């Protein structure tokens, strides 16, 4: 990389260093203090946002530093957007950096980190900049109270420490058996980054390609639930049931997690009912009405637009329209009529124990994308929403044999290595969790968590083709048996199929073995680099001790590679492996020969700044009904049983 890029990388890491403390990098502080955004309005493409932000700041009207920021509070969001626009619309790097340095010690840390991160992910001149892992910037959102408490003790004693973190709750709560999934820091980091790459507040005026964003909202969350269900089956738990606005939420939840300032995250006892809220004004009956209107749109195949027209959703792009409508995003065709089903669901769950704000409780875990999946009710809300998407997909015609076939190509066999999962220890750096109010030097303090992993494996797909061709390969895994031990028929199993990989391969006439490694999966990303390693690497590269390769398609979004396989069982648990090959020439979108990577995690994270690379609906061929299994299974598909064995440790 050139020096210019490395300096940018260095500045960003410094800006995100200990965000709760005053900036300690003198040059940045000087820059921030000498810079007056109002005197430089000409340097922004949208001066109005900068003007608003500074005006609010000067009036002391912004969310103060130290307070909790959530995207689900209208005011917090609005202010954050002003800052984002100031950063995103800064005409050049100097203006960007000066604005960020100015904001660093003035704007609420939560708003600052979020706005800066989203700006870095989307600005042309910061493409390829690596952000520190979210769990190092905000350890509070990823580890529980006990760990933070122990970490403070260690710092006071000035002793290096490794604090063991247990999953929340006890074995008397059956839901705890799958807490390793909902509380996995990599999974939470993936989820929060997905929402940074595809924010619901994203405006068309930003001019960045957000191809099939509504469909991705559906598909990524659909896959999260399917994966959660496979983890549940691996632990003898039934699959998740959707929420019901009028019935009690049977399972309570005690997050045992604490904010840096503002107290513990609120808990929810068992069997709580949804409650009406006053601010924001959300009534349970509104949620029911929104659902009814959405279901009516699905049944009729059209949504009502704001201007009173009917807009068809009766085709493959319908899912995208529906995703934008249900989330909802700025692209919702009629926000007033269809409401904000999903976002309000998050808010209703987050405020459920203090609906009137009587006790001034802080936001619940559901009100942050970093913490939402810790609560099992997250998966119940999303299954409820997923069932609406399913209802829509079930209205579309099933795929015909002709559509599914790839003439001249057949899969003869698929071989896969032994599939083994295990738990391992992982240490999180807690440096940023502790403030420096006491003038004590930093000591090494880490939280040690248990996390699921699997042995690396390879598939070999043996293809027979009557010509040279470029094919696209899709690999899925689904459960063989349900919770009752009954074999699941394919037309039902399709809803629990998790995507393992999607990639492009060249085949020549005759037999071709296609080999693919688990580490190459289009679903996942490897462990994120730690802040420490990043800081050192930049330093070394600036001193020409190492090289730094800039990856302009770098993604922070991506399911953790460790979680590619569900846990399975000690005695071995049978699953169904499914492979399908189709014609890449027919499905490719961009006119680049090998554009399937775009950062390596396109399956759940799509692409940034490009068109989505293939034309098939996400989840194809399992997104639609299967009428007749025999007719569905064509020679270019292959189904086989595989076994996943779980070892407690490796
Ligand atoms: Cu990701 Cu509800 O959209 O958490």
Query: Do 410 and 382 belong to one domain?
Result: no
Same domain membership, residue 583 and residue 498: yes
The pocket around ligand 1, CB under 6 angstroms, is made up of 191, 195, 221, 342, 346, 369, 372, 382
Determine how β-strand 573-583 pairs with β-strand 469-479. Answer: antiparallel
Ligand 1 centroid – CA 529 distance (Å): 25
Distance 557 CA to ligand 1 centre (A): 14
Give the pLDDT score at 314: 97
Whole-number pLDDT of residue 442: 82
Q: State in Å: Cα 367 to ligand 1 middle.
A: 10
Closest Cα to atom 4, ligand 1: which residue? 369
Tell me, rounded to whole angstroms, the distance of Cα 582 from its chain centroid.
28
- Answer whether 352's CB lies under 8 Å from 174's CB: no
CA angle 269, 272, 275 (to 5 degrees): 125
Quick one: 83 and 195 in the same domain?
no
Residues 500 and 602 in one domain: yes
Report yes or no: 600 and 551 within 8 Å, Cβ to Cβ: no
What is the rounded CA–CA span in Å between residue 475 and residue 639?
10
Residues 6+ apart with CB under 8 A from 2: none
Strand partners of residue 416: 459
Closest ligand 1 atom to Cα of 372: 4
Q: Are 618 and 219 in contact (CB under 8 A)?
A: yes
Residues of the chain with confidence (pLDDT) below 50: none
CATH of the domain at 43: 1.20.1370.10
| 221 CA to centre of ligand 1 in angstroms | 7
In a domain, 466, yes or no: yes
CATH code, domain with 636? 2.60.40.1520
Given the CA of residue 194, which atom of ligand 1 is nearest to it?
A: 1
How far, CA to CA in Å, does 214 sit from each of 265, 379, 419, 460?
30, 19, 34, 34
Place of tokens 């009137």: 356
Contacts 24+ apart (CB under 8 A), 254-257: 254/168, 254/169, 255/144, 255/168, 255/364, 255/365, 255/371, 255/374, 255/375, 256/144, 256/145, 256/146, 256/168, 256/169, 257/140, 257/141, 257/143, 257/144, 257/145, 257/168, 257/365, 257/371, 257/374
Residue 505 and residue 469 in one domain: yes
Task: Please write down the HEC assignment for all residues of 161-185.
Answer: EEEECCCCCCCCCHHHHHHHHHCCH
The dihedral sign for the CA sequence 500, 501, 502, 508? negative
Ligand 1: nearest atom to the Cα of 195: 1
Q: Which of 68, 100, 129 is the last residue of a domain?
A: 129
Residue 500's domain comprises 401-418+455-523+558-649
Sign of CA pseudo-dihedral 514, 517, 522, 523: positive
User: In DSSP terms, which residues pair with 166 in a beta bridge?
Assistant: none
pLDDT score recorded for residue 594: 59
Nearest Cα to Cα of residue 131 among 197, 211, 32: 197
Closest ligand 1 atom to Cα of 221: 1
Location of structure tokens 């790459």:
197
pLDDT value for 435: 72
Q: CA 59, CA 554: separation in Å to the nearest integer?
A: 39
Residue 190 and residue 98 in one domain: no
Q: Are 278 and 357 in contact (CB under 8 A)?
A: yes
Asked if residue 57 and residue 32 are part of one domain, the reply reads yes
Any domain includes 139 = no
**Ligand 1 pocket test: which of 382, 388, 559 has the largest number of ligand atoms within 8 Å of its C-beta?**
382
Domain boundary among 65, 100, 129: 129
Whether residue 378 is found in the same domain as residue 460? no
Strands 524-525 and 469-479: unpaired
Q: Rounded to the nearest whole angstrom, what is the distance from the C-alpha of residue 304 to the centroid of ligand 1? A: 24
8, part of any domain: yes
- Ligand 1 atom closest to residue 345's alpha carbon, by position in its atom list: 2
**Same-domain check for residues 414 and 330:** no
Q: How far is the CA of 195 from the centre of ligand 1 (A)?
A: 8
**pLDDT for the residue numbered 438:** 61
Look at the alpha carbons of 144, 146, 152, 158 in this order and tell me if their dihedral is positive or negative. negative
Q: Within this chain, do residues 241 and 221 fall inside the same structural domain, yes or no?
A: yes
Give yes or no for a contact between 375 and 349, defined as CB atoms under 8 angstroms apart. yes
Rounded CA Rg of the chain: 25
Q: Which among 11, 324, 327, 367 is annotated as catalytic?
A: 327
Residue to mutate (ligand 1; options 194, 221, 223; most atoms within 8 A of CB): 221
Q: Please confirm, yes or no, whether 327 is among the known catalytic residues.
A: yes
Q: Is residue 606 one of the residues assigned to a domain?
A: yes
The minimum-distance atom of ligand 1 relative to the CA of 342 is 2
138 in any annotated domain? no
Q: How far is the CA of 157 from the centre of ligand 1 (A)?
A: 40
**Pocket test residue of 202, 369, 386, 559 for ligand 1, highest count of atoms within 8 A of CB:** 369
Query: pLDDT at position 436, please?
Result: 67
Do 182 and 89 lie in one domain? The reply is no
Residue 163 within a domain: no
Classify 60 in phi/psi space as left (phi over 0), alpha (psi -120 to 50) or beta.
Answer: left
Q: Which two tokens stand for residue 319?
A: 């899912």
Q: Which of 372, 377, 380, 559 has most ligand 1 atoms within 8 Å of CB, for mutation?
A: 372
* Whether residue 487 sits in one domain with residue 387: no
Contacts of 113 (CB under 8 A, 6+ apart): 16, 19, 137, 138
């Amino acid at each position: 990389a050139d020096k210019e890029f490395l300096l940018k990388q260095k500045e960003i890491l410094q800006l995100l260093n200990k965000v709760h403390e005053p900036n300690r990098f003198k040059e940045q502080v000087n820059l921030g203090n000498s810079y007056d955004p109002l005197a430089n309005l000409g340097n922004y493409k949208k001066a109005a946002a900068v003007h608003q932000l500074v005006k609010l700041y000067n009036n002391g009207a912004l969310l103060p530093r130290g307070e909790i920021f959530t995207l689900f509070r209208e005011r917090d969001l609005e202010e954050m957007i002003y800052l984002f626009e100031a950063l995103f619309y800064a005409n050049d790097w100097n203006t960007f950096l000066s604005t960020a340095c100015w904001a660093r010690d003035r704007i609420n840390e939560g708003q600052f980190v979020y706005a800066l991160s989203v700006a870095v992910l989307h600005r042309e001149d910061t493409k390829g900049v690596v952000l520190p892992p979210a769990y190092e910037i905000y350890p509070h959102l990823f580890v529980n109270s006990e760990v933070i408490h122990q970490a403070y003790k260690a710092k006071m004693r000035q002793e290096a420490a490794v604090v063991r973190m247990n999953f929340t709750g006890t074995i008397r709560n059956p839901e705890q058996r799958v807490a390793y999934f909902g509380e996995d820091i990599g999974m939470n980091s993936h989820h929060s980054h997905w929402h940074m790459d595809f924010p619901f507040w994203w405006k068309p005026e930003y001019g960045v390609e957000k191809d099939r964003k509504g469909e991705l909202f559906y598909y990524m969350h659909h896959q999260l639930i399917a994966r959660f269900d496979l983890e549940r089956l691996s632990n003898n738990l039934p699959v998740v049931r959707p929420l019901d606005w009028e019935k009690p939420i049977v399972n309570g939840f005690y997050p045992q997690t604490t904010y840096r300032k503002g107290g513990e995250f609120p808990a929810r006892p068992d069997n709580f009912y949804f409650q009406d809220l006053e601010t924001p004004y959300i009534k349970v009956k509104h949620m029911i009405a929104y659902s009814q209107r959405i279901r009516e749109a699905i049944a009729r195949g059209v949504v009502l637009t704001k201007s009173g027209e009917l807009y068809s959703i009766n085709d493959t792009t319908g899912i995208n329209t529906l995703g934008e409508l249900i989330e909802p995003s700025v692209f919702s065709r009629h926000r007033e009529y269809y409401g904000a089903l999903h976002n309000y669901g998050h808010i209703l769950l987050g405020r459920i124990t203090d609906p009137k704000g009587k006790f001034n409780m802080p936001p619940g875990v559901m009100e942050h994308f970093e913490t939402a999946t810790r609560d099992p009710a997250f998966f119940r809300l999303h299954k409820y929403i997923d069932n609406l998407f399913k209802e829509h997909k079930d209205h579309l015609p099933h795929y015909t044999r002709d559509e599914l076939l790839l003439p001249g190509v057949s899969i003869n066999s698929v071989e896969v290595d032994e599939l083994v999962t295990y738990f391992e220890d992982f240490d999180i750096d807690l440096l940023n969790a502790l403030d420096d109010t006491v003038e004590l030097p930093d000591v090494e303090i880490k939280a040690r968590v248990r996390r699921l992993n699997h042995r690396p494996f390879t598939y070999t797909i043996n293809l027979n083709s009557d010509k040279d061709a470029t094919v696209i390969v899709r690999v899925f895994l689904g459960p063989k048996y349900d919770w009752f031990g009954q074999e699941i028929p394919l037309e039902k199993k399709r809803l629990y199929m998790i995507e393992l990989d999607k990639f492009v391969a060249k085949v020549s006439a005759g037999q071709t073995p296609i080999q693919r490694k688990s580490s190459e999966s289009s679903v996942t990303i490897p462990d994120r680099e730690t802040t420490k390693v990043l800081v050192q690497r930049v330093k070394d590269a600036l001193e020409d001790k190492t090289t730094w390769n800039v990856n302009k398609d770098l993604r922070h979004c991506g399911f953790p590679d460790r979680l590619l396989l569900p846990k399975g069982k000690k005695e071995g648990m049978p699953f169904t492996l499914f492979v399908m090959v189709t014609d890449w020439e027919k499905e490719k979108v961009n006119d680049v020969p090998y554009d399937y990577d775009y950062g390596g995690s396109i399956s759940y994270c799509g692409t940034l700044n490009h068109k989505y690379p293939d034309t098939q609906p996400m989840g194809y061929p399992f997104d639609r009904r299967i009428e007749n299994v025999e007719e569905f299974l064509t020679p270019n598909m292959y189904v086989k049983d595989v076994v996943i064995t779980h070892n407690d440790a490796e």
